[in-house]
Amino acid sequence: MHLSQVLEKRIIFQQHKNWYVLDDEFSWDIESLYDTIFKHLDSLFTIPVIFCSILDANKIISDLGDEEEEYLRFESAIYWRDLGIIFVFVFDEYIPLIEILFHEFRHVMQDLNPDFRHHFESDKKLPYKERITEIDAFQFAAEKTQEYLQLS
């Protein structure tokens, strides 16, 4: 099943390009958020971004034929590499949301970099905070968030 078919079965509260809001508590303008993020990234990524609950994400993952993950209940967002989707679960505050998005898009960049991609596999055995992928993504997100704050 394709993502568009899976999303047809759900209520989409907002959509801009391939960003989807499936949670009625999402209070931001999706088009403005999209523009803000890509104003600060060097590339325009076509990867879908879905703002939803962890339960909805697991249902979408399952509907797309992938295995649900138990650890999703502890995440604020995740770049689901196998499906090429970013899921965002925490979006109450704007600045942390911006930082979460920069973090997840950094994972997309890492995955697209053939010299860096192998770290996803080698990092699996390490504690979360010691993973090269996470150290790099947190640093990138902090820098981009500071850049955003200085320009706004």
Residue pair 49/19 in contact (Cβ under 8 Å)? The answer is yes
- Given a cut of 50, the residues of the chain with pLDDT beneath it are 71
> How is the chain split into domains, by residue range?
3-151
For 43-57, what is each residue's pLDDT tens digit?
889 999 999 998 899
Query: CA–CA separation, 149 vs 152, rounded Å?
Result: 5
Its sign, for the CA torsion 127, 112, 103, 145, is positive
Q: The whole model's pTM is what?
A: 0.93
pLDDT at 75: 80
Amino acid at 91: F
